[in-house]
Every structure is written in structure tokens, then in C-alpha cells.
Structure 1
């Protein structure tokens, strides 16, 4: 009857025909005997109970459909498929096989019945009113926590190895997208809310779920390296390679070696690179950063697509899922916005054409968080408590004389550029750079003018390429090194340069701006607190060196640290560490405008020069004005109103501030500082500041005022349209996770302590307000962790990210930690126990407590979502994920005694099953259908 080449495992159910040949006896294998298990010791249960030996060749499968079984395939190195339920049985070529559904992996396999053993799952134990050693209250609690912790991490990405503390709006966004069953979204969060972090969390969660393998991330040219650094530093996603830098493709088949790729949209849009990319295997996910750069406009019946849009459209067929990131996707242009949405959902093109009539369709394709609404974990607004002070540099004869000469030089330079047409654009660019350097410092413009004169006099021959992609954070530093040709822009330029250089040298001898910086700002800050730490921003390296030299002269060599574009990530990190430890001044170029967070040690910032793009100012302030800042942020902006350019910049900032204040006041009953920052970010993205400033030189100050007002009116209109439409987008909701079991740090700590006690891991000491655990591993645990016998069993562990960051020898117990993974796997293992119990819980009342995994799949059977739910059943009915259960999970469970009646057990279970099915149905939508239900634990409460 059976294939004798297969050995029966203990716990396997077998059957044998009775002598009459009409019926079968059924039993369970207690132990195989003989060569290759040719004899079996079987406990027979039906029709009579007895034990006996039987030849393995005389028995067949005794399993029944619906039985819970465990894959126990023998053999070294064979990993069990886990626990599942029998669905069907068959005989194929004389081999008896059963189809087993494994709910955890979502797989079904035909397996030889001989390699399966029956297990008693939570449902079976509860309905049959199990008693005795099978019941363990504390292990049931720990099993529930293990499932809850794993699932919470998979649904939010919040518990893995993150070098960040995720904020509620970021967790909600990731959860919302993962739970939607559809990964085609436009993430349109306001500037400064962390779209990079949200994307990293989303990628990490999808990796945890094993739902993505191949990812293509396409960014603006200058941001590829920044993305690579951030994904590694914050999320330990170290697989990403930059196309064209870390690797190149010579043959199509080489794409198979690269599953995580970052590339520049301007490189990929080129014909040869795009042709190669389209030959690559399909991607699980394609992400476009700054999606508003994918432009397609409609003129009547004609569509005009940019090369970047054509790139995205070509790639749409190479992936099932596409993410677009953009804080300003609308920009007042409805047709362009619809074109972006069409990339995400080409199948909904007809609906999108009616967007003005049906804006509610945005709810399942656009997600937007507003800066004004963002809070910390305690519900406090993050963006509040900021003071800005304008420090005006007194006028001097030297600065006025220099500015007069500079404006003459600029006018002649711009005029020469305009006269030359398109070929003169380079001259206009150089003029713009010079005026920005002059607004920064006398040292910066003096250095630039000297370099220009040296080129004209053939004393300087270095070249600086202008066709390479430049990281936008370092654009100012790149401008400063810009090489110019060795031909005069206009007649008499050399003579005028000599005069300007002489005036600039006089200006440096009486540098009122530098004197104000030292005497009126730095010294007065230190007079209040001699150890105060100060962050200083400038756009240019020459100005940075100038300030560094001055501060070191006055306050000491070891008090000043620098951050600029020439430094690698590790160098910047070390500079920040020194600043936070014993340093006092950190001078940064725009390289520190993004990606560094100093809010825990510093709350004072000085802008030695104001950036021409107001958005840069928002990003600078964001280094201190962010979650975790305990003090009011104080920002000093140094102005020099006696120069024309600075006057125009001041005018621009004043007008923007006035418009922002008016818009914020109209849109919120209670004024919120965060809303002001949010609108400033939107305005800044829509205003071409450099165009306005260039026009000022050629057309005068009155025309400049008109240009500023005109630009602001257009921006206001665009923002108004965008905000009205985005009212229909999905957004962070405090109730987003209301119906789910939420896991806190307290739950994690309780789980770790409980597992240590169960597994004999000694907790020798708890320090740092109980955040640090000093533990001693048992020999068994060390062996199962694969540790060397000579390794120290002592270990410092913590759940606190900040503590782990400052203690290199302390292991962070996130979900990437080997120890945490070990504890979770142990708690979820069948042999750990805790599938059923009787628990004492006054807060739970009399009734039953269940834990279950719920799973949903997409329309083609691919798993898209899962939840762990707890169900409390008593006289009031069945309730999911109650606050009482969340509190009960925090403390060691107390066992109790009870002799439940099977009929009562069935009634309690039916109530829980009904509530579970309602949850499965309520979450289902056009993208999700129920996949399976797996009971994890079941117990009685008294």
C-alpha cells in the first residue's frame, strides 16, 4: 500500500484494512523500527484502542482532510515547511500524497503522507477543552506578542534597523500604502516631512514581507549618491548600486546581476541607456524621485511629452508597481498633474480625464501629509517654537563703493550676454554667480574676481567641467569653482576687474559684516551661555574658510568643525560627533542643509548669507527645527541692506513672508507656525528667484517689485488649486491604526524580559533608566545562535536607538538583531507551547481570548496584506484588539484553573470566528480579497 522507500515519522497517521476488507483501523506511529523503518509501532485508536507492530508496507495514509500537520521531512539540512492543514489526498504512481496548505508562507505542496505528523493547533485545543501540561499562560502571552511584533514591523517598517525614530505620519503613510493592497502611489508630502525616510521605511517593510526583489530608483542627476547614502545609513539597505558609477552594462544579460539600482533620469532618458534598460528583466518596484519633473502638457488634442516623461511611460510596462515622489506635483497645471496620475494608473485614464468632476478618486492614488498637521508620538505639534532675528550690517563707505562698481560690472556683463543671444547665456550665469558670492562675503567675491583676472592674464589654466551632474546640495560649491574662458566678456573688463579687486581688498580691511557676526551675534550668544553650541550656514567654501579662520583665531582651534561637499559621509558624521562632544561651532555649506540632524545638542543657527532660493532656508532651519528639539530654535539672519542685491533679496523675503502669513491666516482658524513653513515651501518651489534678480539689474528696482508681485500672484493661484484638489487625497489620520493591535517599546521590553526568563537567559543588571540590559546567555542559547564556545556569554542589549548609537558595544534589539530574531522564532515555534491556556485577567473578564493571523491577497493570488488580531469574547460579544488586551500583554500572564465544557467552548469560538470574518470582509476592497485565517493562540479568561 505504501512506498517502502519513505520512512514514516513519529506522529504520522496511518490506516490499515480490517480483515473483513470493508473498514479500516486508524492509528498514529509511535516509533519506526527495523531497517529504514520497515516496521512501525502504532497506537491504534479506531475502531479499538491498542498498540502493536505492523509492517510499513501494509499501511496507508490515515490523515483526514482538515487535520493540522507539521512537515517533518527527515534529512540533514532540510528545513521544515512549517505547520499547515490537509486539503486533499491522492495516489500518484503508487505514491500516497496529501496537499497541505501552509498559511504562513501562503504555499501549497503535495507531500508524501509518511513525512507529516499531526499537531494540535490552537483551535483544536480550545474546542476539545484541552487540559494539563498543554496549557501555559505566560507562553501563550509571549507567543501572541511574537506574532504581533513581527506583523507590526512588516506593516510599518518601524521596528527594523533604522537609524531614525519614525514619526507617526511616516508610520501611518507606510502602513496605509502597504494595507491598501496596491503599491502605485504618488507620495506628495509637504517639503521637509521626510519622503526619503518614508520611501526607505516602505522598501524595508516590503523586503521584510519578501514582496520585492528588484527595485529601480530614478532620481535627478545630482541626487543619486545622496539616495544611496541615506538608504544605507538610515535603513541598512546596502544593495543599491548607481548605474554609470558603481557599474555599467555592456551586454543585456548583465542586468541580471543588479537587483537594486539607482540611476539618473537624465542619463536613463538618453536613447542608448534607455534601450539597454528596457532589455532588463521586469522590476518589482520602480520609484521616481521629484516626479513633477516628468512633464507632459496637453495642447488641444496634442500631447507634448518631455524625454523624462517618455522614460517613465516606457518603463511603466516593466513593473507592476510604481511610486512617484513630489511635494509639488500639481504646480497649477491640471493636465500635467493628470499625466502623472496616468503613469500610476493607466487603466483609470477615463476617470482621470474627469478629475475636476470626481476629485475623490485621488483618495486611493495620492497620499499627502501637511506640515501643519504633523505631530510627535505624544500628539504635540513638531513645527513650533521658532524665533527669527534679522541682524542688519551697518552701511560703510567701502561696501557702498564696491557695490556701485560691482553693479556696473554686472550690467555690462549681462548686456554682453544678451547681445550674443543663446551663446551668451554662459556670461549671464557667471554674472549671477558673482553677485551671489558678493552677497555671501567679501572674501568669496574677492577670490572669484582674482581668479577671473588670472584667467584673462593667462595665469590660471585649470578647467572645471560644467557637463557633469552636480549634487544639488553642493551646487553653490560647484559654482564657486566655475572656470571661465580666457576672453574678455566685454571691452575694458580687465581694467574694471582691477578696480573691483582693489575695492574688495579695502572692504576686507573693514569688514562690517564679519565684525557684526563676531561682536553682535557670537559674543552675545556666549555671554548668555559660554558653552552654547552654534550652527552656522553659508553657501560657499571660501566664506566657510573665512569664518573658520576667524572663529579659530578668537575661540580656539578645537572649537570649530566644518561640513562641506568635499567630505564623505563618514567624515561628516565624525565632524558632527566632535561638534556635539566638545566643539562649539559647526560651519556648514548646503551639504549640511539636508540629512544632518542636530536638534538634540543645538538650538541656535546663524545664516551668514541668505540663500537665494528660500527653500534652502527652510531646509537649513530644518536641521534644528525638528522632532526632538527641546528648546526654542533661534535663527539669526545677517542682512546687508546697503547693497542693491541684498536690498532685492530682503524685498523678496519680506513679500514672501507677507503672502505666506496672509495665506496661513485664511486657511486656519488658529494660526499654526507649521502651516507658514509649509506654504513657504510651496511658494519657493514655484518662484524663479534668479530670473527676478537678473531682471533687476537690467530693468531697475521698480520693475523688480512688479516681477516679484507677479510671480507671487501666480504661485498663490497654483497653490490654491493644488490645495483645493488635495483635500481629497489620503492623509495621515490619528485613527489610521485604531483597529489594529499597536506595539510599543513597552511591549518589546516585556517580550524580551519574558523570553529571557523562559529560556534561561540571565538578566544580570538593568541600567540607564532600565533601557540597558546586561544579560548572560546559557550554553544552549549560545549554541543555537551559532556563537563560538569561546565567545563571552555576557552581552549588553537595548531597545533604545539613541543609547545604542552612543554605545558601540551595545546590541540594538531591533528586528534585524540575531538575538531578537532568535527570541521571536522561539516564541512562535510549535514546540514552545502556549497555543492554549487558562489565564487570570481581571481586566479581560470571564470568557475567552484568541490570537489570529489574517491575510489578504491580490486579484491574482499574490499575498498583499496580513494582520495579527486579538479577540476578546465575553457576554458582551466579541471585540478585536481592545485596550484591555494591549494592557494585559505588558505584564507576565498569571495562570488559572478551569474545567471548560466543550459545548461552551464551541460557542465562544463561534463568536470569535464571526468577528474575524467580519474583519476579513471589512478590509477587503477592489485590490484585496481574503486569503486565509490562521489561529495562533486560544485561551479561557477568568
Structure 2
């Protein structure tokens, strides 16, 4: 059969993707082959043609050009052509000449490729086996999806991400205080859901000022590439729905909320997850619904998973907070009055949780305070153990922990809302307030003195300047500018304002009170003030200070922020209007200058929160220049004495402003009235803090981070971080895929394409420079320009996926020299792999990832798998030239078929135990979770019935999928022994 004859079927050794070829013509010098599937014709030298004859044997399944299939039982040769004999799908005995084989037949499976002489490099086979081993291990790691992102391992963030991403279609409110990492939590949830198949498409809606920040964060921290959609890009796709242009779509809320047509297109797309940042800006009341709220409500009804982000869940009022929860579960949160009544019950639950710490020694009252809030038999049994003095300390500790978990689970909004506070998380820097009292310049003083003498002048001033009350009092530079027609106001305001001189002196001072060696963020209320201040720094101090205000485009704002952030050549100062205090993070800076003060406590906290964030390593130095005996100074007293606003965030500022804002405005010119306002504010402030600590917020804090769970997740991540196998695997994979790796020192390496690199690797386009990377989490966090390589990095996942999903390394032939084994003996190393077809959303890999079953046979059929390890065998193997490999396979064709069949039978014996172990793991986890949620649903309506039904359905589908697991041959290596003299 080695001679060429027209009609014979051959494949190209070097171009296997051409498919099955047919000999068109041949003579003693050349042979011409038509590859019908790819419509390519090749002519080769008949003596050195890189071709392998296709010959199928008993049990092989072949396809005809007409579309029917045949299971080969026997074959015969007629005029140099093979005729296959066997049964079709209907059980009928038929013959199929090889000339009538389908051109589209592929030889992707290891068996087909081996028997047709297609063999890969031996190191490819090694890499394939190791890839399967590591993939099996990683897919079962509880940290999957959380270990890869470039983040600090902050317990509360990891707990929230782990808890939420485990759920079917999670619908939650992420409401951590400013600076605690809500964006990171949302990114972690999204990243894990994408990796585990829980989600494939997500829509992310953010304020326009934050679109580029989200874009960069998702790429830099999570290696997620998103499509930033705006009207210009949408118009470019006029004939299609622009929301279908990517899997992850990021869009401006302002753009979408104002465009009904785009809302229709967004709603008509299929999404798995909706993420909405700064959700407190969505306006809703029982009487009126804002356009933004209406848009999100419509999307939330259609999208299974919803994440709402807000740092101020209640500061806009209880009604506003209810409106956020209503978006997540309108059936559960259908009545504002019922929600208010439910809130009253949370105090009792919080007291019961605190009482657990006092048992069993707390007395009858302590015991009764717990009994009042539990009525489940399992909880009462635990309480009896805890209250029994004869119980061992271990039994009491276990009962206490279980009771605390049950109370947190079954009461409050903790299942739909996660809120961590600074005092609960801890570890935040101190805030230090520095006041600089300055004399009023004459131009400002004239207005203020006239206001103090003439009560009617305020009304005249409001009309004359067009400013609002109390802006006209708090921002004297704005009043000065508005009165520019006055001949006494001819100079620019910044030339007569002593705050400018004070700032310039501090910027030049390298002493303890100066800023000379530090970055400084300056925030002013108004855009014109910020622009004028930047001009003053340039003209009077020769300082270039980028300015950040609402009049800039997003790109211009990004440039200003980047110029400030650059450590080497960046600007010392960034001047912002009020918009600079929302959304942007400047934790690398510790000096905040409030050139003036905002009126609202929330805006004050937003300003401080730009610096006081996770990652801040220094105390926050807050500098406020004040005019003596001015409205601004009185406003500061209200902030400081009325609510300790500069010391720490407290979450009740909006309520205090709503209660006393008008009275405060009237008291800005009256010290006696101001004292009354401050005293009343302080009383309400302390009352609200006491209520918060006693009720729902206490429950939320306890529920927002379960330390034991967070510690377990952190430990699992550390296990992957410190995995020594990653370095070894990476070195081997980069070499085989043709990526050059150069050590740079300090734990850094530079990856770049080699001329032989395989196409399509993330970040490594041919002709480009590549990128610098590290395996160290700490080094990656310290340098934004360095990528962190992990098992979850796109490059690693692409290489592993290409190996597991393709044919790379699924066949090999090697030589073994061993003194105890005679030359010419044959061994076959077979790697079988479990195949469990199931929808990706089930994430069956957490219970049964592709599992390797290795079978090593000698030519007599003896099983050597337990006697000879994969690693031990691989170390002693030699490579062989492909031509010799094909000759060896051809000469042992029938023997190999028999060994393949026997190996399959051996592997099948392992399958039942693999399936049983996976089912046990699945049932243990899902049955326990289902029982917990069913018990929880009886007391806490935050557990939705559709969530319970989804979990039941998931369990049934997983059970069926795992039960249907089969084995298939993934890779095969033929090993031939050689004598001492062989090479």
C-alpha cells in the first residue's frame, strides 16, 4: 500500500489541517494530491513526499462523501485501493471505497492521529499531561476566580466576592463605606463568574466621570477587556445593536439614561449580570420615578444578576435606601411602611447576637433575649448546649458560632446588602485636621460687614450676584467675581485672597508644616475657583498644576489625574473642583487642602475619601485655610463640633443636613444661633449613632465579613500564589509556544514573541515588544506597568486552553534505553480523560474537572501504570525523528490497535470510582447549601424562591451530567526500547 495510485487517500504530514487528500496523478518523479475540504492542490516528489497513507481498521468509524457513516469491520484491496466493509447506522452491511471517503474527515482524536502516522514532539506530550493535571487541580481550588486579580488580599473584599459569586444570579447591594473597595468587590465577582461560567455577558453602567477609571481598573487589576460604548461608537454600528458588539459592555449612565432608543437596544440584549455604580443617584419616590431609576428598573427585571454599588445607602434617606433594595427584589421590598416596621426588629436580633458572648454565665435575662428571636428547633437545640454549664468549652464554642451564623443568615438585609465600615474593618490611617486662620481681605470684608449691618442687603446681594444662599456667604471669591462691575473689584480674586499666598508658602516650605516634598490634592467648590487657583499657582509661584473640573472631557480629566499620579515627573499639585471629590482615587497622596468647604457633609466625606482609602500608608493631613469670624469658619464648627465630620465617616450626614441645613444657613452670620444649631445637631448625631450600633447596621457589619470564611479563601489564594509548579509549568509552556523569556532581576521577567511563536497569544502580538511580568503579588501591586502571572492570567489560560481543546501533544513516539529491557520491545502510554458534557453555567469542573486516567501497557498487554510513574518514565525517554516514527507505527499498526483497545478497557475500570467521588462532593456541598437556604427562607424573605428552585435544578442537572461522564482517549505515546548503540 506504500505505492501511490490515483484515488488513494493520504494526509500531509506538515499540513494536517488541509484535511484528507486524494491522489490525482503520479509517476516515478512526482505525485499530485487534491485536498478537497480546503480546495488546495499540492505536488510532491514521489521519493520524498511528506505524506502518510490513511488506513482504517476494525472498530474505526468513517464517513462517506454522501454523508452516511460506517463502522469498519473488515477491509479488502481492489486495484491498489482499500474498500472498507462494515455496518451503517441502520445496521446494514455496506462497502465504502476509500475514494468515496468524505474530504472533511478530521483526525483530531489521538487514536486517529497516531494510526495515520501523525506524531508530535515528545515534550509536547509531556506538557499536555501536565496541563491536564494542573487544570484538574486548579479548577477544584476554592479560590478559583479570586486568586488571579492584581489586588491586596483584604478579608472583607474576598468574603463578599466569594459569597456573592457562588450564588445563582446574585442580586445584591455593595454598600461599603467610601474607600473600602466596592469596585474591587464588583470586579472580583465578575471575574469569578466569568471564569466559572456563571456569567458570559455583563453590562456595566457608571457615571460619565468614571468610565475610563472603570475601563482601566478592569483591565489592569482583572485582565478583563471591556467595550466602552458611547453614541459615536453606536452610530458606527447603525445596522446592528451596538450592545451586541462585545461580551462586556461599559457605558455612561448619563448617555444611556437620556436615550430611550439605546435603552430599548440594551434591554433587548441578553445579559447575565448588570452592574450599576453610584446607585444612590437613581431618583425614586412613591410619587415620582426618575429616568435613571426607570432605566435600571427595566434592565433589572430582565437581567438575572444585579450588583448595585453605593457608599451612601441611607444618607439619601430611608426611602432612597428602600428604592435600591426594591430594584433587587421588588416582591420582597414592596412596601416602604412594612420595611420601616421590619427595621425595628433588628435591634432585638443584634442584642441577641451580643448576648451569645455572655452565655452560659449571663443569667436568665441573657438567655431569654436570645430565645425571643429564634423559633427553629435546630437553633433551640444549639442554645440548650450553649446554656448548659456542663457542656464542654469546645461544645459551647461550636454552638455559639453556629447560632451566630444562623441569626445573621436568617434576619435582616444582610443577604442582599453588604456594608463594611472603617471601624469594623480597621487598619485605616488617622485623620489630622490642620486649621489656618487668616484675615479677611478688605474686598471680602466690605461685603460681610454690610451684611452684618443691613439685613435686607442679603436679598439685594443674591439678586445682584445671581448666586444662591448660602453660597454667597461661604464662597467669598465667587461673590467677588460676581460683583466684578464694582471698580474696587478690578483685580483678579486670586491676587487679593490670602489663601493663595498661604498655599504657595506651604508648597515651598520643606519643614514639618510644609508640602515641599509631597503630593498635594487641592479641592475647591467651584469650577471657576479651581481654574483661577491653578492660574495663580502658575503666575505667582511658577508651578504647573493640572486642573480637574466638570468642563473637561473624560480624556482631559484622565490626563490631569495621570500627570498628578506620576511619581517621577508628575505635578506636585492637582487642583479640583467639587467633581474631583467623587470617584477618583488618590491614596498615593496624604495632603488634602480644602481651599473652601462644601455645604453638605456627604461632599465633605467624599473629598476626604479620595485619600482615605485602602492602600493609604500615611495619616491623612487635612488642611483648611479659614477667614476669621467668617461664615466659612462657622460652617467648619458645625462640621467639627456637631458631627465629628473630619475624624471619621459616620453615615448620618445626610439626615443631619436635612434636619438642620436651613437653620445652619440662617446661623452663618449669627454666633448665638449657631451654638443652638450645633447643640441640636450633636444630640441627633449621638442618638443616630446609638441606634445604628444597636440595630440593623450592627447586623450588617457582623454579616459583611465572616472572618473564618475570609481566612479560608485567603489561605486558598496563598496556596495558588506560592504554588512551585507554576514556575516550572510556565517555563516549559513558554518554550514550547515560542515565547522568549528574559530575567530582569528583582523577580521580574520580560516576555516577548520569538520568530517561531504560535499566533494568538494575549499581549504577545508578533512584531511587538511584549510585556514585563512577575509571579509576585506584592511586586505587581507596587508597579502598574508590570503584569502578574498566575494560573488565571489570560496568557496561561490561553496556552492551557489551546492544549486541552486542541490536538497539540496528543500523540508522540519516543525511544527508551534500558539495560533490563531487550531492544525492539513496545510500550504504549495512554492518557484517558473524563468527558462530562454540561452547560458551562453549571461549573461542573468544581466537582469533576477533566480527570486523567493513565494506562501504561507493554506489548504483551501487561499493565505497568503503578510500577512506572509518568515523571520517572519521561526522564529516560529520547526523541525520534518523525520519519522514523511513522515507519515504526506503520510496522506495528495491528499491534497498536489491540493495545489501544485493551488500554480503553483498563481505563474504564477506573471510571465508576471517579464518578462516585464527584457525586459525593457535589451532593455534600449542594445538599448542605440547599438545606441551609430552605431553613433560611422560612424566616428571611430575602431568599427568593427562584434562587431555591435554581439550586434544586442545578443539583438535578449536575447529578445527571456527572452520571453521564465518559472516558475518551486524550493522548497516546508509543515507546520503543533500543539497544546501547542506538541513537
Coarse TM-score class (shorter-chain normalised): 0.5 to 0.7
Partner of 1:867: 846
2:307 equivalent to 1:323: yes
2:419 equivalent to 1:368: yes
1:393 aligns with 2:472: no
In the other structure, the counterpart of 1:743 is 720
The Cα offsets for residues 76-125 of structure 1, whole Å up to 9 and x where unpaired, read as: xxxxxxxxxxxxx8889x999xxxxxxxxxxxxxx99975765589xxxx
How far off its partner does 1:643 sit?
Answer: 1.0
Q: Hey, what does 1:42 align to over in structure 2?
A: 56
Q: How does 1:514-593 map to 2 (within 5 A)?
A: 514-519=500-505, 523-525=509-511, 531-549=517-535, 551-552=537-538, 556-557=542-543, 560-567=545-552, 568-576=556-564, 580-581=568-569, 583-593=571-581
2:731 is matched with which residue: 741, 753, 764? 753
Instruction: Assess, with a 3 A threshold, how the Cα gap between structure 1 residues 201 and 594 changes in structure 2: closer, same or farther.
Output: farther
Q: Distance in 2 between matches of 1:253 and 1:758?
A: 41
Query: Deviations along 1:56-76, whole A, 9 cap, x unmatched?
Result: 8754579xxxxxxxxxxxxxx
Asked whether the equivalents of residues 186 and 366 of structure 1 are also in contact (C-alpha less than 8 Å), the reply is yes
| Contact kept? 2:253, 2:292, Cα under 8 Å | no
What is the Cα deviation at residue 150 of structure 1? 8.2
CA, structure 1 residues 682+404, in 2 after alignment: closer, same or farther (shift >3 Å)?
same
User: 1:156 aligned to 136, 145, 150, which one?
Assistant: 145
2:351 is matched with none
Residues 895-941 of structure 1 show CA distances to partners (whole Å, capped at 9, x for unaligned) of 789xxx999999987766554333322443433325345899999xx
| Alignment pair present for 1:232 and 2:215 | yes
Q: Do the aligned partners of 1:612 and 1:649 also contact (CA within 8 Å) in 2? A: no
Once the two structures are TM-superposed, the CA of residue 657 in structure 1 deviates from its matched residue by 1.2
Residues 551, 306 of structure 1: alpha-carbon distance in 2 compared, 3 angstrom cutoff: closer
CA distance in 2, matches of 1:621, 1:862: 42
Q: Please state if 1:701 is matched with 2:678.
A: no
Residue 771 of structure 1 is matched in structure 2 by: 748
> Structure 2 CA distance, aligned partners of 1:261 and 1:174?
20
In the TM superposition, residue 311 of structure 1 has moved relative to its aligned partner by 4.9
* Structure 2 counterparts to residues 873-912 of structure 1, below 5 A: none
- Cα shift readout 1:745-801 (whole Å, capped 9, x = no counterpart): 8665554323224456453x3114021235562x43256769999x65975531479
Q: 1:119 to 1:373 in 2, by over 3 A?
A: farther
Change (3 A) 1:407 1:794: same
SS where residue 468 of structure 2 aligns?
Answer: helix
Residue in structure 2 matched with residue 343 of structure 1 by the alignment: 327
- Give the TM-score normalised by the residue count of structure 2: 0.58
Q: 1:795 to 1:630 in 2, by over 3 A?
A: same
Counterpart-to-counterpart distance in 1, 2:687 and 2:87: 77
Does residue 437 (structure 1) correspond to residue 475 (structure 2)? The answer is: yes
Is the 8 Å Cα contact of residues 536 and 608 (structure 1) preserved in structure 2?
A: yes
Residues 750 and 432 (structure 1), Cα distance of their counterparts in 2 relative to 1, 3 Å cut: farther
Aligned residues: 729
Unmatched 5+ residue regions in structure 2? Answer: 1-6, 12-18, 25-33, 37-52, 61-70, 97-101, 113-120, 220-224, 346-408, 813-830, 853-870, 877-902, 931-947, 973-983
Q: Could you tell me which residue of structure 2 aligns to residue 797 of structure 1?
A: 772
Q: Structure 1 residues 695 and 166 mapped into 2: Cα distance closer, same or farther (>3 Å)?
A: farther
Shift of 1:188: 2.3
Q: Contact 2:8 / 2:23 at 8 angstroms: preserved in 1?
A: no
The two structures have a TM-score, normalised by structure 1, of 0.60
Larger radius of gyration: 2
For 1:633-664, what per-residue CA distance to the aligned partner results, in whole angstroms no more than 9, with x for missing partners? 43333333421332232232222118x9xxxx
Instruction: Summarize deviations over 1:132-164 as a string: whole Å, max 9, x none.
Output: 98997765444444566789899537647x7x7
Over 3 Å counting, the alpha-carbon distance change for 1:323 and 1:530 in structure 2 is: closer
Q: Which ranges in structure 1 are unaligned for 5 or more consecutive residues? A: 1-5, 11-29, 63-88, 97-110, 122-131, 375-380, 418-423, 455-497, 661-675, 837-848, 874-891
Aligned to 1:842: none
Task: Note if 1:921 corresponds to 2:923.
Answer: yes
Q: SS at the partner of 2:746?
A: coil
Judged with a 3 Å threshold, the aligned counterparts in structure 2 of structure 1 residues 268 and 759 are, in CA distance, closer, same or farther, namely: closer
Structure 1 residue 249 displacement after superposition: 13
Residue number in structure 2 paired with 1:687: 657
Is the 8 Å Cα contact of residues 429 and 616 (structure 2) preserved in structure 1?
no
| Contact 1:414/1:431, CA 8 A, preserved across alignment | no
Secondary structure of the corresponding residue to residue 536 of structure 1 = strand
**2:581, 2:844 → 1: CA distance?**
37
Inter-partner Cα distance in structure 2 for 1:813 and 1:338:
42
Q: 1:850 to 1:314 in 2, by over 3 A?
A: same
Corresponding residue of 2:354: none
Q: Which residue of 1 aligns with 2:697?
A: 723
- Aligned counterpart, 1:823: 799
Q: Are the counterparts in 2 of residues 179 and 864 from structure 1 also a CA contact under 8 Å?
A: no
Q: Which of 613, 616, 623 in structure 1 is aligned with 2:603?
A: 616
Q: 1:447 deviation in Å?
A: 1.8
1:329 aligned counterpart, secondary structure? coil
For residue 613 of structure 2, give the secondary structure of its aligned residue in structure 1.
coil
- 3-state SS of the aligned residue for 2:624? strand
With over 3 angstroms needed to count, the CA separation of the structure-2 counterparts of 1:154 and 1:524, relative to structure 1, is: closer
8 A Cα contact 2:317 2:654, kept in partner:
no
